[in-house]
Structure 1
Protein backbone atom coordinates (compact mmCIF):
# COMPACT_ATOMS: atom_id res chain seq x y z
CA UNK A 1 0.00 0.00 0.00
CA UNK A 2 1.53 3.31 -1.10
CA UNK A 3 1.70 6.07 1.47
CA UNK A 4 3.14 9.49 2.22
CA UNK A 5 4.85 10.15 5.54
CA UNK A 6 7.01 12.84 7.12
CA UNK A 7 10.23 11.52 8.62
CA UNK A 8 11.78 12.70 11.86
CA UNK A 9 13.94 15.21 9.99
CA UNK A 10 10.85 16.83 8.49
CA UNK A 11 11.21 15.50 4.94
CA UNK A 12 8.17 14.21 3.08
CA UNK A 13 8.59 10.57 2.04
CA UNK A 14 6.71 8.33 -0.37
CA UNK A 15 7.01 4.62 0.47
CA UNK A 16 10.09 5.43 2.56
CA UNK A 17 11.88 7.52 -0.07
CA UNK A 18 12.49 11.27 0.45
CA UNK A 19 13.23 11.81 -3.24
CA UNK A 20 10.71 13.43 -5.58
CA UNK A 21 10.98 14.53 -9.20
CA UNK A 22 10.16 17.95 -10.64
CA UNK A 23 9.82 18.57 -14.34
CA UNK A 24 8.51 21.47 -16.38
CA UNK A 25 4.94 20.90 -17.52
CA UNK A 26 4.81 23.94 -19.80
CA UNK A 27 6.89 27.12 -19.59
CA UNK A 28 3.81 29.20 -18.77
CA UNK A 29 2.46 26.79 -16.14
CA UNK A 30 5.43 25.74 -14.03
CA UNK A 31 6.60 22.45 -12.58
CA UNK A 32 4.83 19.20 -11.81
CA UNK A 33 6.15 17.10 -8.93
CA UNK A 34 6.12 13.30 -9.13
CA UNK A 35 6.69 10.68 -6.43
CA UNK A 36 8.32 8.32 -8.96
CA UNK A 37 10.44 9.12 -12.02
CA UNK A 38 8.11 10.41 -14.78
CA UNK A 39 8.24 9.35 -18.40
CA UNK A 40 9.86 11.63 -20.93
CA UNK A 41 6.51 12.51 -22.50
CA UNK A 42 5.32 13.90 -19.16
CA UNK A 43 8.05 16.53 -19.06
CA UNK A 44 8.64 19.56 -21.25
CA UNK A 45 12.21 19.50 -19.90
CA UNK A 46 13.92 16.13 -19.47
CA UNK A 47 15.44 14.59 -17.39
CA UNK A 48 13.46 15.63 -14.29
CA UNK A 49 15.20 17.29 -11.37
CA UNK A 50 15.44 15.23 -8.19
CA UNK A 51 14.23 17.25 -5.19
CA UNK A 52 13.31 16.83 -1.54
CA UNK A 53 10.36 18.46 0.22
CA UNK A 54 10.59 19.59 3.84
CA UNK A 55 7.72 20.42 6.18
CA UNK A 56 7.83 23.61 8.23
CA UNK A 57 6.46 21.81 11.28
CA UNK A 58 3.93 19.08 12.24
CA UNK A 59 6.48 16.30 12.62
CA UNK A 60 8.16 14.57 15.54
CA UNK A 61 11.87 15.27 15.70
CA UNK A 62 14.38 12.43 15.75
CA UNK A 63 14.99 11.06 19.22
CA UNK A 64 18.67 10.54 18.59
CA UNK A 65 21.15 11.37 15.87
CA UNK A 66 22.27 7.79 15.33
CA UNK A 67 18.85 6.14 15.19
CA UNK A 68 18.72 3.22 12.74
CA UNK A 69 16.45 3.84 9.75
CA UNK A 70 14.99 0.35 10.15
CA UNK A 71 14.75 -2.27 12.89
CA UNK A 72 14.08 -6.01 12.70
CA UNK A 73 11.37 -6.47 15.30
CA UNK A 74 9.12 -9.47 15.89
CA UNK A 75 9.35 -12.29 13.35
CA UNK A 76 11.57 -11.70 10.34
CA UNK A 77 13.55 -13.56 7.70
CA UNK A 78 17.07 -13.09 6.35
CA UNK A 79 17.59 -14.08 2.67
CA UNK A 80 18.75 -17.70 2.53
CA UNK A 81 20.09 -17.35 -0.99
CA UNK A 82 21.51 -14.28 -2.75
CA UNK A 83 22.31 -14.84 -6.43
CA UNK A 84 24.04 -12.08 -8.44
CA UNK A 85 23.38 -12.65 -12.16
CA UNK A 86 25.11 -10.87 -15.03
CA UNK A 87 23.83 -9.80 -18.46
CA UNK A 88 27.37 -9.91 -19.83
CA UNK A 89 27.83 -13.50 -18.60
CA UNK A 90 24.32 -14.86 -19.19
CA UNK A 91 25.15 -18.54 -18.72
CA UNK A 92 27.35 -18.15 -15.63
CA UNK A 93 25.73 -19.43 -12.42
CA UNK A 94 27.71 -17.79 -9.60
CA UNK A 95 26.00 -19.58 -6.71
CA UNK A 96 25.08 -17.85 -3.50
CA UNK A 97 26.71 -14.73 -2.09
CA UNK A 98 26.83 -12.82 1.18
CA UNK A 99 26.58 -9.56 -0.76
CA UNK A 100 23.92 -7.75 -2.71
CA UNK A 101 24.94 -6.05 -5.94
CA UNK A 102 22.98 -3.94 -8.42
CA UNK A 103 24.48 -2.37 -11.54
CA UNK A 104 23.40 -1.96 -15.14
CA UNK A 105 25.03 -5.37 -15.74
CA UNK A 106 24.39 -7.26 -12.49
CA UNK A 107 21.11 -7.81 -10.68
CA UNK A 108 20.60 -9.80 -7.48
CA UNK A 109 17.93 -12.38 -6.65
CA UNK A 110 17.00 -12.96 -3.00
CA UNK A 111 15.29 -16.15 -1.80
CA UNK A 112 13.28 -16.10 1.42
CA UNK A 113 12.01 -19.32 3.01
CA UNK A 114 8.71 -18.37 4.62
CA UNK A 115 7.95 -20.61 7.66
CA UNK A 116 4.64 -22.45 7.85
CA UNK A 117 4.07 -20.69 11.18
CA UNK A 118 3.52 -17.46 9.19
CA UNK A 119 0.19 -18.82 7.90
CA UNK A 120 -2.44 -16.06 7.99
CA UNK A 121 0.06 -13.31 8.77
CA UNK A 122 0.99 -10.26 6.72
CA UNK A 123 4.50 -10.13 5.29
CA UNK A 124 6.39 -6.97 4.46
CA UNK A 125 9.49 -6.69 2.28
CA UNK A 126 11.82 -3.91 3.41
CA UNK A 127 15.16 -2.57 2.26
CA UNK A 128 17.09 -1.03 5.14
CA UNK A 129 19.87 1.38 4.17
CA UNK A 130 21.70 2.98 7.12
CA UNK A 131 24.45 5.54 6.96
CA UNK A 132 27.95 4.04 6.88
CA UNK A 133 28.63 5.54 10.33
CA UNK A 134 25.74 3.48 11.76
CA UNK A 135 27.15 0.13 10.63
CA UNK A 136 29.23 -2.03 12.95
CA UNK A 137 30.06 -5.15 10.93
CA UNK A 138 28.99 -4.24 7.39
CA UNK A 139 29.66 -1.70 4.67
CA UNK A 140 28.38 -0.57 1.30
CA UNK A 141 29.33 1.43 -1.78
CA UNK A 142 26.93 3.50 -3.86
CA UNK A 143 27.40 5.66 -6.92
CA UNK A 144 25.11 6.93 -9.64
CA UNK A 145 21.43 7.82 -9.30
CA UNK A 146 20.52 5.13 -6.75
CA UNK A 147 17.49 4.10 -8.83
CA UNK A 148 16.67 0.40 -8.32
CA UNK A 149 13.72 -1.65 -9.56
CA UNK A 150 12.25 -4.35 -7.30
CA UNK A 151 10.36 -7.38 -8.61
CA UNK A 152 8.54 -10.38 -7.19
CA UNK A 153 9.57 -13.42 -9.22
CA UNK A 154 7.43 -16.34 -10.40
CA UNK A 155 9.55 -18.88 -8.53
CA UNK A 156 12.60 -19.16 -6.32
CA UNK A 157 16.16 -19.17 -7.62
CA UNK A 158 18.57 -22.10 -7.20
CA UNK A 159 22.33 -22.49 -7.07
CA UNK A 160 22.16 -23.15 -10.82
CA UNK A 161 20.42 -19.86 -11.61
CA UNK A 162 22.07 -17.61 -14.18
CA UNK A 163 20.85 -14.61 -16.15
CA UNK A 164 19.72 -16.82 -19.03
CA UNK A 165 17.56 -19.15 -16.92
CA UNK A 166 16.47 -16.78 -14.13
CA UNK A 167 12.81 -16.93 -13.05
CA UNK A 168 10.47 -14.53 -14.79
CA UNK A 169 8.85 -11.52 -13.14
CA UNK A 170 5.50 -12.13 -11.47
CA UNK A 171 4.97 -8.52 -10.33
CA UNK A 172 7.02 -5.37 -10.82
CA UNK A 173 7.07 -3.74 -7.38
CA UNK A 174 8.28 -0.37 -8.61
CA UNK A 175 11.34 1.82 -8.90
CA UNK A 176 12.93 3.36 -5.81
CA UNK A 177 15.74 5.88 -5.50
CA UNK A 178 17.80 4.47 -2.64
CA UNK A 179 19.86 6.72 -0.42
CA UNK A 180 21.62 6.04 2.91
CA UNK A 181 19.76 6.81 6.11
CA UNK A 182 16.38 5.41 5.02
CA UNK A 183 14.25 2.29 5.23
CA UNK A 184 11.97 1.41 2.32
CA UNK A 185 8.82 -0.71 2.44
CA UNK A 186 8.82 -2.38 -0.97
CA UNK A 187 5.92 -4.80 -0.75
CA UNK A 188 3.20 -5.87 1.67
CA UNK A 189 0.99 -8.92 1.23
CA UNK A 190 -0.18 -12.23 2.64
CA UNK A 191 2.70 -14.42 3.81
CA UNK A 192 3.23 -17.38 1.47
CA UNK A 193 3.67 -19.77 4.36
CA UNK A 194 5.76 -22.87 3.73
CA UNK A 195 7.09 -21.57 0.42
CA UNK A 196 10.30 -20.09 -0.94
CA UNK A 197 9.70 -16.61 -2.33
CA UNK A 198 12.16 -14.72 -4.54
CA UNK A 199 12.64 -11.01 -5.18
CA UNK A 200 15.00 -9.31 -7.62
CA UNK A 201 16.78 -5.96 -7.47
CA UNK A 202 17.90 -4.56 -10.83
CA UNK A 203 18.51 -1.28 -12.64
CA UNK A 204 18.78 0.16 -16.12
CA UNK A 205 20.30 3.36 -14.75
CA UNK A 206 23.87 4.26 -13.79
CA UNK A 207 23.34 2.98 -10.24
CA UNK A 208 26.25 0.97 -8.86
CA UNK A 209 25.28 -0.44 -5.46
CA UNK A 210 27.04 -3.07 -3.35
CA UNK A 211 26.50 -4.01 0.28
CA UNK A 212 27.31 -6.80 2.72
CA UNK A 213 23.94 -8.14 3.88
CA UNK A 214 23.99 -7.98 7.68
CA UNK A 215 21.38 -7.77 10.45
CA UNK A 216 23.76 -6.48 13.12
CA UNK A 217 22.78 -3.06 14.38
CA UNK A 218 21.99 -1.31 12.16
CA UNK A 219 20.51 -3.86 9.71
CA UNK A 220 21.31 -3.34 6.03
CA UNK A 221 19.74 -5.01 3.02
CA UNK A 222 16.56 -6.85 2.12
CA UNK A 223 14.39 -8.56 4.76
CA UNK A 224 10.89 -10.00 5.15
CA UNK A 225 9.01 -9.11 8.35
CA UNK A 226 5.80 -10.82 9.51
CA UNK A 227 2.98 -9.41 11.61
CA UNK A 228 -0.57 -10.36 12.56
Structure 2
Protein backbone atom coordinates (compact mmCIF):
# COMPACT_ATOMS: atom_id res chain seq x y z
CA UNK A 1 0.00 0.00 0.00
CA UNK A 2 1.30 3.42 -0.97
CA UNK A 3 1.00 5.63 2.12
CA UNK A 4 0.30 8.64 -0.08
CA UNK A 5 -3.32 7.45 0.01
CA UNK A 6 -3.28 7.68 3.82
CA UNK A 7 -2.53 11.42 3.92
CA UNK A 8 -6.21 12.40 4.52
CA UNK A 9 -6.70 9.69 7.18
CA UNK A 10 -3.36 8.53 8.68
CA UNK A 11 -5.20 7.14 11.73
CA UNK A 12 -5.96 4.06 9.59
CA UNK A 13 -2.40 2.88 10.27
CA UNK A 14 -0.79 3.20 13.72
CA UNK A 15 2.68 3.92 12.30
CA UNK A 16 1.36 6.41 9.76
CA UNK A 17 -0.48 8.29 12.50
CA UNK A 18 2.78 8.75 14.39
CA UNK A 19 4.74 9.93 11.34
CA UNK A 20 1.93 12.27 10.24
CA UNK A 21 2.24 14.24 13.50
CA UNK A 22 5.89 15.18 12.83
CA UNK A 23 6.39 18.93 12.28
CA UNK A 24 6.50 20.02 8.66
CA UNK A 25 10.03 19.82 7.26
CA UNK A 26 11.16 17.96 10.39
CA UNK A 27 14.02 15.54 10.92
CA UNK A 28 13.07 11.85 11.27
CA UNK A 29 15.50 9.08 12.22
CA UNK A 30 14.60 5.43 11.59
CA UNK A 31 16.60 2.93 13.66
CA UNK A 32 16.90 -0.56 12.20
CA UNK A 33 15.78 0.36 8.68
CA UNK A 34 16.49 -3.08 7.17
CA UNK A 35 15.26 -3.24 3.55
CA UNK A 36 13.70 0.23 3.79
CA UNK A 37 10.11 -0.78 3.07
CA UNK A 38 8.63 1.13 6.02
CA UNK A 39 11.00 4.05 5.46
CA UNK A 40 9.77 4.35 1.87
CA UNK A 41 6.18 4.35 3.13
CA UNK A 42 7.05 7.22 5.49
CA UNK A 43 8.42 9.20 2.56
CA UNK A 44 5.24 8.52 0.58
CA UNK A 45 3.20 9.92 3.45
CA UNK A 46 5.49 12.85 4.30
CA UNK A 47 7.82 13.77 1.41
CA UNK A 48 8.60 17.06 3.21
CA UNK A 49 10.53 15.31 6.00
CA UNK A 50 14.32 14.92 6.12
CA UNK A 51 15.02 11.20 6.59
CA UNK A 52 17.97 9.55 8.32
CA UNK A 53 18.48 5.82 8.81
CA UNK A 54 20.62 3.45 10.85
CA UNK A 55 21.08 -0.28 10.36
CA UNK A 56 23.74 -2.88 11.04
CA UNK A 57 23.43 -4.12 7.46
CA UNK A 58 20.67 -2.27 5.60
CA UNK A 59 20.08 -1.63 1.91
CA UNK A 60 20.58 2.14 1.57
CA UNK A 61 20.14 2.05 -2.20
CA UNK A 62 16.49 1.19 -1.53
CA UNK A 63 15.94 4.06 0.92
CA UNK A 64 14.16 7.31 -0.02
CA UNK A 65 16.16 9.76 -2.13
CA UNK A 66 18.25 12.05 0.05
CA UNK A 67 18.09 9.78 3.11
CA UNK A 68 21.30 9.93 5.17
CA UNK A 69 22.37 6.39 6.09
CA UNK A 70 24.72 5.38 8.90
CA UNK A 71 25.85 1.78 9.31
CA UNK A 72 26.04 0.99 13.02
CA UNK A 73 25.54 -1.75 15.60
CA UNK A 74 23.01 -0.28 18.04
CA UNK A 75 24.36 -2.41 20.91
CA UNK A 76 27.88 -1.04 20.44
CA UNK A 77 28.23 2.06 18.26
CA UNK A 78 27.28 5.59 19.39
CA UNK A 79 25.58 7.55 16.62
CA UNK A 80 27.27 10.55 14.96
CA UNK A 81 24.56 13.20 15.24
CA UNK A 82 24.70 15.92 17.92
CA UNK A 83 22.32 16.08 20.87
CA UNK A 84 18.72 17.15 20.20
CA UNK A 85 18.90 16.59 16.43
CA UNK A 86 15.57 14.90 15.65
CA UNK A 87 11.88 15.75 15.78
CA UNK A 88 10.89 12.08 15.53
CA UNK A 89 12.58 8.71 15.91
CA UNK A 90 11.09 5.38 14.85
CA UNK A 91 12.39 1.97 15.86
CA UNK A 92 10.33 -0.85 14.39
CA UNK A 93 11.03 -4.52 14.99
CA UNK A 94 14.56 -4.07 16.23
CA UNK A 95 14.49 -4.46 20.03
CA UNK A 96 13.54 -8.16 19.85
CA UNK A 97 16.86 -8.76 18.04
CA UNK A 98 19.01 -7.11 20.74
CA UNK A 99 20.48 -8.55 23.94
CA UNK A 100 20.94 -5.12 25.53
CA UNK A 101 18.80 -2.00 25.08
CA UNK A 102 21.05 0.33 27.05
CA UNK A 103 22.91 2.07 24.21
CA UNK A 104 19.81 2.24 22.02
CA UNK A 105 17.73 3.92 24.72
CA UNK A 106 20.52 6.30 25.70
CA UNK A 107 20.93 7.42 22.09
CA UNK A 108 17.18 7.87 21.61
CA UNK A 109 16.98 10.12 24.69
CA UNK A 110 20.07 12.06 23.61
CA UNK A 111 19.02 12.62 19.99
CA UNK A 112 15.43 13.77 20.51
CA UNK A 113 14.77 17.51 20.41
CA UNK A 114 12.76 18.98 23.30
CA UNK A 115 9.19 18.06 22.39
CA UNK A 116 10.43 15.35 19.99
CA UNK A 117 8.77 11.94 19.97
CA UNK A 118 9.85 8.31 19.59
CA UNK A 119 7.86 5.28 18.43
CA UNK A 120 8.81 1.66 19.12
CA UNK A 121 7.12 -1.36 17.56
CA UNK A 122 7.86 -4.99 18.40
CA UNK A 123 6.13 -8.41 18.34
CA UNK A 124 3.34 -8.70 20.90
CA UNK A 125 3.86 -11.37 23.62
CA UNK A 126 0.87 -13.23 22.13
CA UNK A 127 3.13 -14.20 19.21
CA UNK A 128 4.72 -16.81 21.49
CA UNK A 129 1.44 -18.76 21.38
CA UNK A 130 0.66 -18.40 17.66
CA UNK A 131 1.20 -21.40 15.36
CA UNK A 132 4.29 -21.57 13.19
CA UNK A 133 4.05 -21.19 9.44
CA UNK A 134 5.09 -24.62 8.17
CA UNK A 135 4.55 -24.42 4.41
CA UNK A 136 4.23 -21.48 2.04
CA UNK A 137 4.58 -21.16 -1.71
CA UNK A 138 8.19 -20.35 -2.53
CA UNK A 139 9.77 -17.82 -2.21
CA UNK A 140 7.27 -16.46 0.36
CA UNK A 141 8.68 -16.30 3.91
CA UNK A 142 6.63 -15.13 6.85
CA UNK A 143 6.85 -14.99 10.64
CA UNK A 144 3.72 -15.81 12.65
CA UNK A 145 5.07 -17.48 15.77
CA UNK A 146 7.75 -15.32 17.41
CA UNK A 147 10.43 -17.94 16.85
CA UNK A 148 9.65 -18.42 13.17
CA UNK A 149 12.35 -15.75 12.83
CA UNK A 150 15.54 -17.42 14.09
CA UNK A 151 17.17 -14.01 14.72
CA UNK A 152 14.60 -13.12 17.39
CA UNK A 153 16.17 -13.24 20.85
CA UNK A 154 13.35 -12.40 23.25
CA UNK A 155 9.96 -10.75 23.49
CA UNK A 156 10.26 -7.20 24.84
CA UNK A 157 6.95 -6.16 26.47
CA UNK A 158 5.82 -2.56 26.05
CA UNK A 159 5.85 -2.13 29.83
CA UNK A 160 9.61 -2.78 29.76
CA UNK A 161 10.13 -0.32 26.90
CA UNK A 162 8.05 2.29 28.73
CA UNK A 163 10.12 1.83 31.88
CA UNK A 164 13.39 2.24 29.96
CA UNK A 165 12.12 5.46 28.38
CA UNK A 166 10.81 6.92 31.65
CA UNK A 167 14.12 6.25 33.41
CA UNK A 168 15.76 8.44 30.78
CA UNK A 169 13.39 11.32 31.46
CA UNK A 170 10.95 10.76 28.56
CA UNK A 171 7.19 10.98 28.96
CA UNK A 172 5.28 7.93 27.73
CA UNK A 173 2.40 9.00 25.48
CA UNK A 174 0.70 5.65 25.11
CA UNK A 175 0.98 2.03 24.04
CA UNK A 176 -1.19 -0.57 22.38
CA UNK A 177 -1.54 -2.85 19.38
CA UNK A 178 -0.29 -1.66 16.00
CA UNK A 179 -2.67 -2.15 13.09
CA UNK A 180 -3.47 -1.05 9.59
CA UNK A 181 -7.24 -1.28 9.65
CA UNK A 182 -7.57 -1.64 5.88
CA UNK A 183 -5.37 -4.74 6.01
CA UNK A 184 -7.11 -6.00 9.14
CA UNK A 185 -10.59 -5.80 7.60
CA UNK A 186 -9.41 -7.40 4.36
CA UNK A 187 -8.59 -10.50 6.41
CA UNK A 188 -12.26 -11.51 6.24
CA UNK A 189 -12.03 -11.70 2.45
CA UNK A 190 -8.48 -12.93 1.94
CA UNK A 191 -8.73 -15.69 4.55
CA UNK A 192 -10.70 -17.78 2.04
CA UNK A 193 -8.09 -17.45 -0.71
CA UNK A 194 -4.81 -19.28 -1.31
CA UNK A 195 -2.05 -18.77 1.26
CA UNK A 196 0.42 -16.04 0.43
CA UNK A 197 1.97 -12.79 1.67
CA UNK A 198 -1.18 -10.66 1.25
CA UNK A 199 -3.34 -13.16 3.12
CA UNK A 200 -0.84 -13.46 5.97
CA UNK A 201 -0.28 -9.69 6.20
CA UNK A 202 -4.04 -9.23 6.58
CA UNK A 203 -4.11 -11.95 9.23
CA UNK A 204 -1.39 -10.44 11.43
CA UNK A 205 -3.04 -7.02 11.31
CA UNK A 206 -6.35 -8.59 12.35
CA UNK A 207 -4.69 -10.56 15.16
CA UNK A 208 -2.68 -7.58 16.40
CA UNK A 209 0.74 -9.16 15.89
CA UNK A 210 2.72 -6.02 16.84
CA UNK A 211 2.70 -3.88 19.98
CA UNK A 212 3.76 -0.23 20.14
CA UNK A 213 4.80 2.39 22.65
CA UNK A 214 5.44 6.09 22.04
CA UNK A 215 7.15 8.70 24.21
CA UNK A 216 8.15 12.38 24.12
CA UNK A 217 11.11 14.33 25.40
CA UNK A 218 9.77 17.13 27.62
CA UNK A 219 9.97 20.62 26.20
CA UNK A 220 12.64 22.93 27.62
CA UNK A 221 10.26 24.61 30.10
CA UNK A 222 8.62 21.33 31.09
CA UNK A 223 9.86 19.37 34.12
CA UNK A 224 11.27 15.94 33.22
CA UNK A 225 9.36 12.81 34.10
CA UNK A 226 10.40 11.32 37.46
CA UNK A 227 12.73 8.34 37.30
CA UNK A 228 11.00 4.99 37.60
CA UNK A 229 12.32 1.73 39.06
CA UNK A 230 13.13 -0.95 36.49
CA UNK A 231 10.65 -3.77 35.84
CA UNK A 232 11.64 -7.31 36.83
CA UNK A 233 13.36 -9.36 34.12
CA UNK A 234 10.77 -11.71 32.64
CA UNK A 235 12.62 -13.04 29.67
CA UNK A 236 10.79 -16.00 28.10
CA UNK A 237 12.86 -19.15 27.62
CA UNK A 238 13.26 -20.26 23.98
CA UNK A 239 11.15 -23.30 23.12
* Structure in which a larger fraction of residues adopt strand: 1
Greater RCO (CA < 8 Å, at least 6 residues apart): 1
* Structure in which a larger fraction of residues adopt helix: 2
